[in-house]
Structure 1
């Protein structure tokens, strides 16, 4: 007979395993990128629509370097899925900007406190783009 694990415990164990796995994910990506020739890195960057320098910076920043961007979009009533679907290139550019941001702590704090809508313009590298997106009713949550 195989013992069963209660759902809350299974969920917690899965989160811990996932957390450890992510800890190893970024170094593996960095090693993979380091093993490529300059031409291969450039071709990969071209496929992503970014520069080779941006690609290297993104890999170094890790897989969650732009996690604040969709949260900020939602705080501003922008649907991240709609933007990604209709404006893929812009969405990628915004991710690059977010991943390279030096105001992460301020952003996270303001998002947590529900202040981001009032303050993002002061520190967000995507502020102008976010304001333009907010003006498009087709991209708003619930549109």
Structure 2
């Protein structure tokens, strides 16, 4: 019985140390990180949309190189940081100047992303409404 357990442990260790399985998995991860890196590069900058009811005015956010995010023309919803993973944009925020202050993360599915336009849908809540932002040059 002990010999079977030792054999299984040795087999597990050998499998974990197998260089071909490590290369395969690291290759898959590098493809994913390249995709994420490209999206990160495209996402950097100022993203704006018209304010509902005040279409001449714009609001949005700016995504900086260092993972810092900032709100543009929004005084109660303040973005702090951002990260992208695969097709999801995460925006950390806090609120100020409202009765119920909060901290949370906007989790946005990226539906469209190019040099000029970003379309997202919130993955939290049941709104399912798409929002489109234009990149300010």
Same fold (TM over 0.5): no
Quickly name the TM-score band, shorter chain normalised: under 0.3
| Structure with higher helix content | 1
Higher relative contact order (CA 8 A, sep 6+): 1
| Structure with higher strand content | 2
Q: Which has the larger radius of gyration?
A: 2
